[in-house]
């Protein structure tokens, strides 16, 4: 059967098509469910040029979708125009930036109407607290704060009366910003500094888009240590070196360490990255394995065993796996093979296989110019 040819308008939506979909979504019981569709259409239209900058400013609703274009990794003429327009409109006016950051949370109209402080032409769709797309936790107030001149952003964050979150009494804007992205330098410095709260730092440590450098800064804050370290240990994206530092921070609390490994289950990739960050720290590796061995997937466990056999000898691996399995019959087949021949070669084979695969992958990437 011939593949159906996708009309160009489906790939490069016009502003009229955006408005048609907006009207359809507005009739749904929960219109926020369609926001990802609107966001995708706006991004496609901005990238291809099928939605002009002027139309994005005047006709895309809600304005949070337009603001989201600014955070695109590959900037289009439309996203640049949106950012330039916002910065030109607000300038160095702290009060105006604060107004935009607060109003964008519930604004149903266009960005042009918001900037001009005119009544909103209600598109029927209200932005949710966190506008998400493509796995990101982008939130329009974070984007606006990142766009503001640095001294303006610092002034907003330093105000003794924190910006409120509309419709959520008692919740400060900063409390929600730390859950989302982008995390501009001014926001991070405020939260990590003396003005930030322990709860904000704990939430920031759980943010999947927090960088390793940021998580390392949080880990150095002694008063928040145990809870921040626990969050970093199970962070989905942190690198092996920083994750290992978080495990070292809790090394005297075996119960907490085991709980972290259990929460990461399966934890093979994360544990391997920690070992690769410190391959000769045998005592730490052995201690950690006693907490996590039961949660490791078999392929990852075999690689760890192979690395240990290279650095500490096969006898260490035999004892570890017997402790894990509880009996010879339940031990890993490669460990039993190693015991049978009295050598670490069956264990080291796994490491050699992995290294060959990694070398082949690098060679393929170099050949075809892949990252």
Examine residue 279 and state whether it is found in any structural domain, yes or no.
Answer: no
pLDDT value at residue 168: 75
**DSSP output for 103-164:** HTTT--S-HHHHHTT------S----SS--BTTB-B-HHHHHHHHS-HHHHHHHHH-SSPPB
Examine residue 169 and state whether it is found in any structural domain, yes or no.
Answer: yes
d(CA 96, CA 332): 65
Q: For 64-121, write each residue's pLDDT tens digit.
A: 999 999 998 888 999 999 999 999 999 999 999 999 999 998 899 999 999 999 888 8
136 forms beta bridges with: 133
Q: For 311-322, write each residue's pLDDT tens digit.
A: 889 999 999 999
Q: For 130-143, write each residue's pLDDT tens digit.
A: 444 334 588 999 99
Between 37 and 54, the more confident residue is: 54
Examine residue 361 and state whether it is found in any structural domain, yes or no.
Answer: no
φ/ψ (deg, to 5) at 337: -65, -40
Query: What domain count does the chain have?
Result: 1
Examine residue 239 and state whether it is found in any structural domain, yes or no.
Answer: no
Q: For 291-341, write each residue's pLDDT tens digit.
A: 888 888 888 899 889 989 988 899 999 999 999 999 999 999 999 999 999
Q: How far apart are the first and last CA of the chain?
A: 36
d(CA 66, CA 82): 7
Q: Token pair for residue 281?
A: 């720290």
Q: What percent of the chain has pLDDT over 90?
A: 54
pLDDT value at residue 200: 93
Q: For 235-246, write each residue's pLDDT tens digit.
A: 989 999 999 999
Domain hosting residue 49, numbered range: 9-72+83-196
């Amino acid at each position: 059967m011939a593949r159906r040819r996708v009309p160009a308008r489906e790939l490069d939506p016009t502003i009229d098509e955006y408005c048609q979909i907006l009207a359809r979504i507005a009739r749904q019981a929960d219109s926020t469910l369609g926001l990802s569709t609107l966001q995708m259409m706006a991004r496609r239209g901005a990238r291809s040029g099928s939605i002009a900058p002027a139309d994005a400013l005047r006709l895309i609703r809600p304005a949070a979708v337009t603001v989201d274009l600014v955070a695109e990794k590959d900037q289009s003429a439309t996203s640049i125009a949106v950012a330039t327009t916002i910065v030109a409109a607000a300038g160095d006016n702290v009060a105006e930036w604060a107004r935009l950051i607060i109003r964008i949370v519930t604004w149903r109209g266009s960005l042009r109407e918001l900037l001009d402080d005119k009544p909103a032409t209600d598109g029927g769709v209200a932005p949710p607290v966190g506008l998400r797309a493509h796995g990101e936790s982008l939130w329009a107030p974070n984007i606006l704060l990142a766009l503001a001149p640095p001294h303006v952003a610092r002034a907003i964050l330093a105000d003794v009366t924190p910006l409120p979150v509309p419709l959520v009494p008692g919740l400060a804007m900063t409390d929600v910003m730390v859950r989302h992205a982008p995390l501009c330098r001014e926001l991070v410095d405020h939260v990590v500094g003396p003005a930030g709260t322990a709860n904000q730092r704990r939430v920031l440590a759980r943010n999947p888009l927090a960088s390793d450098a940021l998580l390392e800064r949080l880990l150095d804050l002694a008063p928040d240590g145990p809870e921040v370290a626990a969050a970093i240990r199970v962070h989905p994206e942190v690198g092996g070196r920083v994750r290992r530092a978080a495990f070292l921070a809790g090394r005297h609390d075996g119960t907490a360490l085991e709980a972290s490994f259990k929460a990461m289950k399966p934890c093979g990739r994360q544990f391997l990255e920690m070992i690769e960050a410190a391959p000769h720290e045998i005592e730490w590796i052995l201690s950690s394995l006693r907490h996590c061995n039961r949660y490791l997937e078999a392929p990852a466990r075999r690689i760890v065993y192979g690395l240990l056999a290279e650095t500490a000898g096969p006898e260490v691996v035999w004892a570890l796996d017997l402790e894990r399995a509880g009996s010879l019959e339940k031990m890993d087949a490669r460990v039993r093979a190693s015991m049978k021949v009295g050598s670490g070669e069956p264990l080291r084979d796994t490491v050699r296989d992995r290294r060959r695969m990694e070398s082949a992958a690098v060679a393929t990437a170099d050949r075809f110019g892949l990252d």
